[in-house]
Amino acid sequence: MENQILGLHHITAIAGDARKNYDFYTRILGLRLVKKTVNFDDPKTYHFYYGDKIGTPGTILTFFPWGSSIGSGRRGTRQVTEIGYSVPSGSLDFWLKRLEDHHVIYNKVSEKFGEQYLTFLDNDGLKFELTVPKNADTRIPWETDAIKAENALKGFHHITITSNKIEATAAILTEVFGYKLLEQEVNRYRFVTDTVEQANVVDLVEAPGEQVGHVAGGSVHHVAFRVRDEKVLMHFRAIIQDRGLQITEKIDRNYFYSLYFREPGGVLFELATDNPGFAIDEPVEELGQGLKLPAQYESHRDEIEKVLPKLKADE
């Protein structure tokens, strides 16, 4: 039983302007910035991690804000096309008003699989759903002055992957990751794992005529599934290799260990560990406050800090 996929770990997306991204997620949505670091492959751009108080796996949304020159992506196949957050029962009216007040593009409340949800787009066009789950979500959310626990985002509810044909992706979910097909509505197939209570849903949408998506600003770069530790990580590496898929070596991401592979439906999947977590280089109370650099860039801190955009007017 110990070699399990424990639902979603994090989702990484591409943004344009860093300051607008920081403002949208911390102030308008009320998430906590749990880590401010740089792209390890391109240290002159930020890598932001937003989540709950400690950045619990299943709550972590990360961004590479590459500036406005990155251009806009386009939703389509071979992509994660929606990110679903779980919100408390009775909170959708609060969110309708808040999105309206802040000039966010949103849609009226709708329902699927017996759950009400509200769709909106961030500054760069990244698509979200706030879902009131059928089963109570007991996770404790991060609170801000404007967004208290009765309304706050609790972490991920689901992701949606769009494909011309879902079969090959469904096989990875069911045969490798231990998910089961729970329900189907029209062309949307809902897969769930029972290894965890939350962040355990993947929807596959089959759209035969849909074009391939373009990954740029406002689109998801990859999705990471959660494993307990490096031993489980390497267990899955062997299984994925045995299926004839290319997979990376284990990579140290400072806050977790990772493997990446492209699933046969074209989406970049990552597997990421619970250990060591975000408190490894700053105390929980101070998460996200300092700019954290990996060891190889520490000697370049001054020049890196000079080129990174300021996130607040008084910085």
**Residues at the contact surface with Zn ion, assessed by CB under 5 A:** 12, 224, 270
- Least separation, in Å, of the C-beta of 256 and Zn ion? 8
Q: Cβ-count burial of 143 within 10 angstroms (0-12 exposed, 13-18 middle, 19+ buried)?
A: middle
- Least separation, in Å, of the C-beta of 218 and Zn ion? 18
- Least separation, in Å, of the C-beta of 12 and Zn ion? 5
- What is the rounded CA–CA span in Å between residue 115 and residue 175? 27
Of 191 and 225, which has the nearer Cβ to Zn ion? 225
- What is the rounded CA–CA span in Å between residue 15 and residue 71? 9
Give 302's contacts (C-beta < 8 A, 6+ positions apart).
Answer: none
Of 130 and 268, which has the nearer Cβ to Zn ion? 268
Of 12 and 91, which has the nearer Cβ to Zn ion? 12
Of 64 and 95, which has the nearer Cβ to Zn ion? 64
Of 36 and 190, which has the nearer Cβ to Zn ion? 36
Contact 220, 266 (CB under 8 A): no
- Least separation, in Å, of the C-beta of 219 and Zn ion? 14
- What is the rounded CA–CA span in Å between residue 191 and residue 209? 22
Of 94 and 260, which has the nearer Cβ to Zn ion? 260
- Least separation, in Å, of the C-beta of 201 and Zn ion? 19
What is each CA distance from 242 to 235, 247, 303, in whole angstroms? 11, 10, 45
Stretch (H or E) spanning 33: strand 32-39
Of 82 and 270, which has the nearer Cβ to Zn ion? 270
- What is the rounded CA–CA span in Å between residue 15 and residue 31? 16
Of 52 and 270, which has the nearer Cβ to Zn ion? 270
- Least separation, in Å, of the C-beta of 161 and Zn ion? 16
Q: Which residues pair with 202 in a beta bridge?
A: 159, 191
- Least separation, in Å, of the C-beta of 225 and Zn ion? 10
- What is the rounded CA–CA span in Å between residue 226 and residue 119? 25
Neighbours of 127 (CB within 10 A): 20
Q: Which amino acid is at 226?
A: R
Contact 164, 265 (CB under 8 A): no
Biggest CA-to-CA distance, the chain: 55
Neighbours of 60 (CB within 10 A): 28
What is each CA distance from 50 to 101, 112, 125, 221, in whole angstroms? 22, 27, 18, 16
- What is the rounded CA–CA span in Å between residue 170 and residue 115? 22
- Least separation, in Å, of the C-beta of 4 and Zn ion? 19
Of 142 and 225, which has the nearer Cβ to Zn ion? 225
- Least separation, in Å, of the C-beta of 289 and Zn ion? 22
